[in-house]
Amino acid sequence: MARFAANLTYLFTELPMLQRFAAARRAGFDGVEILFPYDLPAKELIAAAQESSLRFVLMNTPPPNWAGGPRGFAAEPGNETRFRSDFDRALRYAEALQVAHLHVMAGKAEGPKARETLLRNLEWACARAPEMSLTLEPMNSSDMPGYFLDSFDLASEIIDEIDQPNLGLQFDVYQAHMIHGDVIHTWERHARNTHHIQIAGCPGRHEPRAGEINYAGFFRAVDAAGFRGWVGAEYTPRTSTEAGLRWLRSA
């Protein structure tokens, strides 16, 4: 049975960040994700998680400015030095918070040179952080035009080529639906590489219940594959977070 983590960047935003931990625990979550925790001191985040007995599950490598800025540098030729600097910064935070997975963002790029750059950077990152699970998340071109990792096939191809146990797939179900359409078939093709799952409904990236994605069927496929990792709830609530948590209580 998978364990659920609340993405506190999206959920419980009615509250200040440090108060969202207790709200997540009361709602029934066992872990938390924060996309970019760098603006808060690690010791405050650690204390908030410990007080609520929550595990830090996921964070992202840091972009310089998320609001309109680049979505990472891992695949961008010429930005290798910046990628390594950002990765080391992220790794310090991730190790302090004892995060389960660190999502390495590829950035906007295209062509063979970008692929080569991504491979080199990921090989370096895997060697730099051998005890940390590093994840790659494909992103659809409608929401993230120009993002290099725009298919699950490409992400798995990269993971297979690097062939390191600490590099895996971040299987975002919303992204799988937007990119490939058939979520269950996509899962069955890529479950072997998956380190982490994220969920959201479609359309709108709201609660993972009514909508185009068959979540009951998806979770049956997840159980059949023997996945025992974390499932991150990364969605925008339609109204308040609490009002939309029926899916969690029936999971």
Residue range 3-249, CATH number: 3.20.20.150
Q: Is the pLDDT of residue 162 over 60?
A: yes
Q: The whole model's pTM is what?
A: 0.96
Distance CA 29, CA 27 (A): 6
CA-based torsion, 178, 144, 234, 58: positive or negative: positive
Res. 68 pLDDT band, cuts 50 70 90: low
Would you state the pLDDT for residue 2?
A: 78
Instruction: Quote the DSSP letter at residue 251.
Output: -
| 137 in active site | yes
Q: Out of 33, 76, 137, 207, pick the active-site residue.
A: 137
Distance CA 78, CA 143 (A): 25
Q: Out of 33, 76, 207, 234, pick the active-site residue.
A: 234
Q: Which helix (H) or strand (E) segment is 152 a member of?
A: helix 152-162
| 234 in active site | yes
Buried b / exposed e along 82-104 (16+ C-beta atoms within 10 A): ebeebbeebbebbeebebbbbbb
Residue 154's alpha-carbon distances to 83, 93, 102, 119, 130, in angstroms, are 20, 28, 19, 12, 23
Query: What pLDDT, in 10s, does the model give residues 21-66?
Result: 999 999 999 999 999 999 899 999 999 999 999 999 999 997 655 5
